[in-house]
Amino acid sequence: MWLNVGRTLHAGNVEVIRDGVRFGDGSVFYSVQGNSDPKTDYHGCEWPSPQTLGLLGFVTGSMEECGGWFESFYV
């Protein structure tokens, strides 16, 4: 897996999905479970009061042969 994308790209903490950094070292959280079973991830945003959003962006991070692809994606 690390042949296509360098290890430094991946962060060890899921909180990087909220920091606004889209490129470079530590910018991608790679969710793996260590086997070939299907995996479901849930991520969300929460604010202390109602918000009006003009855009909620989703950036996939690194695309590789072993990850970064979705069979389904629900919002």
Between residues 47 and 4, which one has the greater pLDDT? 47
Please compute, for residue 61, the number of CA atoms within 13 A of its CA located in the half-sphere on the CB side. Answer: 22
Measured between alpha carbons, how far is 65 from 5 in angstroms, rounded to an integer?
A: 11
Q: Which amino acid is at 43?
A: H
Measured between alpha carbons, how far is 22 from 20 in angstroms, rounded to an integer?
A: 6
| pLDDT at res. 67 | 61
- Domain limits, the chain: 1-34+41-67
| pLDDT at res. 69 | 65
The pLDDT tens digits for 6-64 are 778 778 888 888 888 888 888 888 777 777 777 777 777 888 999 998 987 777 777 66
Which residues are bridge partners to 67 per DSSP?
A: 64
